[in-house]
Amino acid sequence: MPSKKKKYNARFPPARIKKIMQTDEEIGKVAAAVPVIISRALELFLESLLKKACQVTQSRNAKTMTTSHLKQCIELEQQFDFLKDLVASVPDMQGDGEDNHMDGDKGTRRGRKPGSGGRKNGGMGSKSKDKKLSGTDSEQEDDSDDTDTDGEEETSQAPAQASHPPAHFQSPPTPFMPFTSTLPLPPAPPGPPAPDAEDEEDYDS
């Protein structure tokens, strides 16, 4: 039976909204409809915010929506004025030419130091991938500093490994043994019956 793909149907859970509301001491009982209405209001709010931010992102010919795009959207739309305090620390949008290279935050990623060579012992491949996947810019900067020191450690360890030739272990050659089956052979099909002694006499006479 083919599996049905479920339509993506994310909702703000009303039970969680109710719990958040009840953390306020002034709120006693909450009618069942209230968290549902708040949940729907949150969905509509996010939908409008993201549509406006998407328009800003597309107008800048960017492929990735950044916090700077959200900040510009919040500053342009009067209905989002209450969010201005949240985005006050976010850097402003830069020029069109610089914006294109910021799409994937490629400016913060650093490659391997030139001259450090490729992978050694196959270990650096997984390390560098994990470091590129780290979350924030500050983590990426810290990680890139770590990769620089890792490269120095690698080069200092490489000559030590090169001084020891690889050991080859040889086992004595095994004698040739013909292949024999351990399975019992099936019984041979019955052949023609063995000739009786009387039949043999007939041939003689």
Q: In the prediction, which pLDDT does 33 show?
A: 93
Q: In the prediction, which pLDDT does 193 show?
A: 60
Q: In the prediction, which pLDDT does 53 show?
A: 93
pLDDT beyond 60 at 155 = no
Q: Establish if 56 belongs to a structural domain.
A: no
Q: Establish if 4 belongs to a structural domain.
A: no
Distance CA 13, CA 38 (A): 10
Q: Establish if 187 belongs to a structural domain.
A: no
Q: Establish if 124 belongs to a structural domain.
A: no
Q: Establish if 164 belongs to a structural domain.
A: no
What would the pLDDT profile of 119-137 be if each residue is shown by its tens digit? 445 444 444 444 444 444 4
Total count of domains within the chain: 1
Cβ(90)–Cβ(67) below 8 Å: yes
Q: In this structure, what DSSP letter does residue 152 have?
A: H
Distance CA 68, CA 196 (A): 107
- Quickly state the pLDDT bin for 167 (edges 50, 70, 90): low
- Quickly state the pLDDT bin for 60 (edges 50, 70, 90): very high
Q: Render the burial of 45-80: b for 16+ CB within 10 Å, e for the rest.
A: eeeebeebbeebbeebebeebbebbbbbbbbeeeeb
Q: Establish if 78 belongs to a structural domain.
A: no
- Rounded to two decimals, the pTM is 0.41
Torsion, CA 80, CA 86, CA 89, CA 94, rounded to 10: -30
Q: Establish if 140 belongs to a structural domain.
A: yes
**What rounded mean pLDDT belongs to the chain?**
68
Distance CA 72, CA 88 (A): 11
What would the pLDDT profile of 1-39 be if each residue is shown by its tens digit? 566 766 666 778 999 999 999 999 898 888 999 999 999
Cα angle 148, 152, 157; round to 5:
145
In this structure, the number of other CB atoms found within 10 A of the CB of residue 202 comes to 9
Cβ(66)–Cβ(104) below 8 Å: no
pLDDT beyond 50 at 188 = yes
- Quickly state the pLDDT bin for 47 (edges 50, 70, 90): very high
Q: Record the tokens describing residue 163, joined without a space.
A: 């001084």
Q: Establish if 2 belongs to a structural domain.
A: no
What would the pLDDT profile of 65-83 be if each residue is shown by its tens digit? 999 999 999 999 999 999 9
Q: Domain range holding 141?
A: 129-158
